[in-house]
Amino acid sequence: MTYVPSILLLLLFAAIAALLFAKIKGKAIPMAVIFVLGFFAVCMAGIVAFIKNGENYDAYLFQQWQPLQPEKIQGLVEQGYTVVVDVQADWCLPCRANKANVWHREQVVDTLNADNIVLMRGDITNSNPLVEGYLASVGGHGTPYNRVYGPQQPQGIELPATLAITDLLWALSKVN
């Protein structure tokens, strides 16, 4: 079933090639038809390339986020753990973008599934005094807010609001 889009794409390119060949041989085939089919072929090629890039888009289902417990962060860091904190809200569009572009990506999920990494998520979709107190204590001003703590950086490294995979990987390399 996973080969169906590729086969359809090949058939579409073959049809375009056949139409071009027929046009060269003198058949009355409008160029508009060939251009429209070419446009569809390019669009479909983009879709096939996106689908076929080999990434498991369900990898995030295996992440083990625990509720944010600010009082436990320093103790975990002293034990040698890396603590990744994500504060988000359902109504926060940049939070959703961070999930799609970073937190749910297979490369990130695989990296964060290490035994020495603890994931904590604070949710302020509704008022949450614990999470709001944490944000106030670290100088955070709302969502999204991400911070990585580790033995080399026990105070943590704040990540940019618009998160990129490289930002997270850089911070992880600095805290260990």
Same domain, 76 and 163: yes
Structure tokens given for 30: 């409008």
Give Dmax (Cα) for the chain: 80
Alpha carbon of residue 9 to chain centroid: 27
If one counts every other C-beta atom within 10 angstroms of the C-beta of residue 159, the result is 22
Final residue belonging to a domain, choices 35, 51, 67: 51
pTM here is: 0.70
64 and 25, same domain (yes or no) = no
**Do residues 74 and 129 share a domain?**
yes
Pairing of strands 145-150, 82-88: antiparallel
Residues 165 and 132 in one domain: yes
pLDDT tens by residue, the chain, 176 residues: 467 777 888 888 899 999 999 999 989 989 898 899 889 888 888 877 776 666 777 788 888 999 999 999 999 999 999 999 999 999 999 999 999 899 998 899 999 999 999 999 999 999 999 999 999 999 988 899 999 999 999 999 999 999 999 999 999 999 98
Pairing of strands 145-150, 153-158: antiparallel
Same domain, 70 and 143: yes
DSSP assigned state of 143: S
Domain coverage including residue 63:
59-175
Alpha carbon distances (Å) from 92 to 88, 89, 109, 115: 7, 5, 21, 30
